[in-house]
A and B are shown apart, each in its own frame.
Chain A
Amino acid sequence: MEKKITLSVKDLRKVIGRREIIKGLTFDLREGEVFGFLGPNGAGKTTTIRMLVGLIKPTSGSIHICGYNIAEDFQKALRNLGCIVENPELYPYLSGYNNLLHFSRMINGVGEERIKEVTKLVGLADRIDDKVKTYSLGMRQRLGIAQALLGNPKVLILDEPTNGLDPAGIREMRNFIRFLAEKEGLSVLVSSHLLSEIQLLCDRVAIITKGTIIRTDSVEKLLSNRERMEWRLEPYLKGKEVLSSLTKIEEKEDGMIWTEFNEEKIPHWNKQLVEAGISVMEMNRKMPVLEDLFLELTGGETIE
């Protein structure tokens, strides 16, 4: 069964001065999925996100959140949205609790019950009465998430959620986002310029550069066809010779040889190698990293 669309963006454009910054983006988010927004710095990720949350008015195009058009039904649309744009900048001179109280007062039907709930959810219960200026970056990030979750949103938008976190914090954040999507059924939009990040976190990815989406697909689909086989052969030179007569090879500096991954042909190649008296020391199936994919898709162009 097809899952419900929670966020729908159609032909979104933004012109600043004479420059078109965002050139017609179209994508949908579905219930319970984590959607990645991947692109280098300056590709238009943050501008797009600011349009999605109502901070910037689009020049043309439409944004619907849970069916409500953000330009016409601002309040109803935003009621279903939680977000952190860039860093979670909260009021440093207020306590964590008062920060949450502050934002809960801006959403109808959110009371102290819910504040306690989200505080527990993000694991800040011990420090919630301390001033935010005494918080570490990780704690601020968690308070930011708590703030975004206050109104029980259907759509959660996180701009660079792991920015500035240490490895443990990054893993924690990743697990938490997966939990929100899988167990709570939220649609989460995550932007990042880190490919590994998106690869581990997201179900689907839109790759954006210079204001256009060049590809939207599931992570698996983007990665399949691009798997590689890694071989370690002994003796190296002879092995290379035999293998290159069978298929196209790539020599790696660590003494490995890479070929395409093709389930039908690999047993045959292996047999040929063994019959030629070559010891096959290692055979590894390699998942490609998104980095390679990204360079391939963008033609390796740099951002001016």
Chain B
Amino acid sequence: MNKLIQNEMMKLIAKKRLVVIALIIGVLVILFTYAQYKEIQTQRERLGTDDWRTAVQQNIVDITNRLSSSRISEEWKKQLKISLQQQQYYLDHDINPAEPGASTFMRIFLENAIDMLIPLMVMVIASDLVSSEYSQGTVKLLLTRPVKRWKVLLSKYITLCFAVSLIVAIAGFLSYILSGVVFGYKGFGTPILTGFNISDEALNTANVKLLSLWKFLLMDFGLVWFVAIVVGTLSFMLSVLIRSTAAGMGVMLAALISGAILSNMVSSWESAKYLFMVNLRLTDYMKGTAPPIEGMNLSFSMSVLLVWWAAALLVSFIVFTKRDVY
């Protein structure tokens, strides 16, 4: 089995796909960094001074005043306290909340890449892993060795998982390193609000807490990786089923784009929540953004994706081991 994985890695590296992916991500990160930099500049001009400390201090005074008032509810008080903690942290650690550093850039990049960019990059690898063997005809050599077919496919799948992990790591690494040149490499301790729950059309803040950015980022990475594996497995299945790289990619791309569009218009079509493509924005649950369809939450979305993942894997293996090769 090790040798088979070695084979797949050798082919993957020889095709130089990962280099291309790293280049694409690199270029995009530079682009976004520049855009972000421009935005901060205009913001600064609008505010006049760049003394952000006074603004934060003012904010803290306001919150303290409100807290001392006896008329506000306990729940609201809790919210304000969290807010106060956050503001105090900014001041103590000399962090400009409007100009947050490379680690925050990385977070925003990951959150926006989760439903399009990363799946797209994963697709580039996954969709031709099997179909290229068919289109080149090498499948005939691959399957006439004294090796069971399921082992051949498993070695390809394990390679895919390696590649997916690598892509997520590359995205994280490049977004940090490249944006840091402009924003500085700080801010891993920045507190960030999480734990929002949306129930019955209302924001439930009972579980809201402050989390260090690095902990938050670890969770983000986990979610991005999970989504990437699911999308990779689905493209892998299409690669087995369709045997044409272009067609497989087309189908997957259509699914991803339709997911982005559907998210904006399916709030009344409830069963759409079982489609995998509206469940990809897992990181939104961490931020507390309202889900596209009522009743969706992090564990629901993850279970839906898990079911799709398992089904795709099962179909891939059954079809690949049973099918006649012409």
Residues of A within 8 A of B (CB): 50, 53-57, 74-79, 81, 83, 85-94, 98, 101-103, 105-108, 147, 151
List B residues 127-176 near A (Cβ within 8 Å): 136-138, 140-148
**Partner pick for A57 among B15, B136, B137, B324, CB 8 A cutoff:** B324
On whether the beta carbons of B14 and A93 are closer than 8 Å, the reply is: yes
B10 & A98 in contact (Cβ 8 Å cutoff)? yes
* Residue from A75, A89, A98 having most chain B Cβ neighbours under 10 A: A89
Contact between chains at B15 and A87 (CB < 8 Å): no
CB distance from A214 to the nearest CB of B (A): 25
Beyond A98-B10, A102-B7, is A107–B145 a contact (Cβ under 8 Å)? yes
9 nearest A-B residue pairs (beta carbon): A89-B137, A105-B3, A106-B145, A78-B146, A55-B325, A56-B324, A79-B146, A75-B146, A53-B144
Q: Least Cβ distance of B323 to chain A in Å?
A: 9
In the assembled complex, 20 residue pairs joining A and B whose CB atoms fall closer than 8 Å, in A order, are: A53-B140, A53-B144, A55-B324, A57-B324, A74-B148, A77-B146, A83-B144, A86-B140, A87-B137, A89-B138, A90-B141, A91-B136, A93-B14, A101-B10, A102-B10, A102-B11, A103-B141, A105-B6, A108-B146, A151-B146
Interface size class of B (residues with CB under 8 A): 20 to 34
Would A94 and B147 count as touching, CB distance under 8 A?
no
A24 to B191, CA, bound (A): 75
A79 proximity list for chain B (CB < 8 A): 146
B269: Cβ under 8 A from any A Cβ: no
Do A55 and B140 contact each other (CB < 8 Å), given the known contacts A76-B146, A79-B146, A107-B145?
yes
Please, how many angstroms separate the alpha-carbon atoms of A107 and B145 in the complex? Answer: 7
CB neighbours of B136 from chain A (8 A): 89, 91-92
- Shortest Cβ gap from B304 to chain A (Å): 36
Q: Which residues of B contact A81 (CB under 8 A)?
A: 144
Q: How far is the CA of A57 from the CA of B323 in the complex (A)?
A: 8
Chain B neighbourhood of A107, CB < 8 A: 145-146
Residues of chain A within 8 A of B11, CB atoms compared? 91, 93-94, 102
In the assembled complex, the Cα of A77 lies from the Cα of B144 at a distance in Å of: 10
Least CB distance from B27 to A in Å reads: 24
Task: Give the most central of A77, A78, A81: most B CB within 10 Å.
Answer: A78
Given contacts A78-B145, A89-B138, A106-B7, contact A56 B14 (CB under 8 A): no
Q: Whole-angstrom distance from the CB of A247 to the nearest CB of chain B?
A: 51
Most B CB contacts (10 A, CB to CB) among A50, A74, A77, A106 go to: A106
Bound form: Cα–Cα A190–B146 in Å: 21
Q: Which residues of A contact B141 (CB under 8 A)?
A: 88-90, 103, 147
A44 CB to nearest chain B CB (Å): 13
**Contacts A74-B148, A75-B147, A103-B141 known; 15 new A-B pairs at CB < 8 A:** A53-B140, A54-B143, A75-B148, A77-B146, A78-B144, A86-B137, A89-B137, A90-B138, A91-B14, A91-B136, A94-B11, A102-B7, A106-B3, A106-B145, A106-B146
Task: Provide the residues of chain B in CB contact with A75, threshold 8 Å.
Answer: 146-148
Whole-angstrom CA separation of A147 from B325 in the bound complex = 20
Residue in A closest to B135 when the chains form the complex, CB atoms: A89
Q: Mark B94-108, 1 if CB is under 8 A from A, else 0.
A: 000000000000000
CB distance from A107 to the nearest CB of B (A): 6
Closest to B5 in A: A105
Choose among A56, A93, A103, A105 the residue that contacts B15 (Cβ–Cβ < 8 A).
A93
A-chain residues with CB within 8 Å of residue B324 when the two chains form the complex? 50, 55-57
Q: Are B10 and A54 in contact (CB under 8 A)?
A: no
Residues of A within 8 A of B325 (CB): 50, 55-56
A111 to B138, CA, bound (A): 21
- Docked Cα-Cα span, A87 to B136, in Å, equals 11
B1-51, CB < 8 A from A: 3-4, 6-7, 10-11, 14-15
CA distance A57 to B324 in the complex (A): 6
- Provide the bound-state CA to CA distance between A151 and B14, in Å: 25
- Bound together, the chains give a CA A77 to CA B147 distance in angstroms of 11
Contacts of A74 in B (CB 8 A): 146, 148
Q: Is the CB of B10 within 8 A of A94?
A: yes
Q: Determine how close the nearest CB of chain A comes to the CB of B138; give it in whole angstroms.
A: 5
Tell me the minimal C-beta distance from A93 to chain B in angstroms: 5
Nearest Cβ distance between residue A68 and chain B, in whole angstroms?
10
Question: Which residue of chain A is the closest to B140 with respect to CB atoms?
Answer: A85
The answer to whether B7 touches A105, judged by C-beta atoms less than 8 angstroms apart, is yes
CB within 8 Å for A91 and B6 given contacts A56-B324, A56-B325, A74-B148: no
A54: which B residues are within 8 A, CB to CB?
143-144
- Report the minimal beta-carbon distance from A121 to chain B, rounded to whole angstroms: 18
How far does the Cβ of B240 sit from chain A's closest Cβ, in whole Å?
Answer: 16
Q: How far is the CB of A55 from chain B (nearest CB, A)?
A: 4
Instruction: Mark each residue of chain B from 186 to 225: 1 if its CB lies under 8 Å from any CB of chain A, else 0.
Output: 0000000000000000000000000000000000000000
| Contact partners of B4 in chain A: CB under 8 A | 105-106
Residues of chain B within 8 A (CB-CB) of A85 are 140, 144
Which B residues lie within 8 Å of A102 (CB)? 7, 10-11
Provide the residues of chain B in CB contact with A108, threshold 8 Å. Answer: 146
Per the 8 Å Cβ criterion, residues 234-272 of B in contact with A are none
Q: What is the minimal beta-carbon distance from B12 to any residue of chain A, in angstroms?
A: 11
A279, B137: Cα distance in complex, Å? 62
In angstroms, Cα B137 to Cα A56, docked, is 15
Residue of B3, B143, B144 ringed by the most chain A CB atoms within 10 A: B144
Q: Which residues of B contact A147 (CB under 8 A)?
A: 141
Among B137, B145, B325, chain A packs the most CB atoms within 10 A around the CB of B145
Q: Which of chain B's residues have a CB closer than 8 A to the CB of A77?
A: 146
Residues of A within 8 A of B6 (CB): 105
How far does the Cβ of A11 sit from chain B's closest Cβ, in whole Å?
A: 19
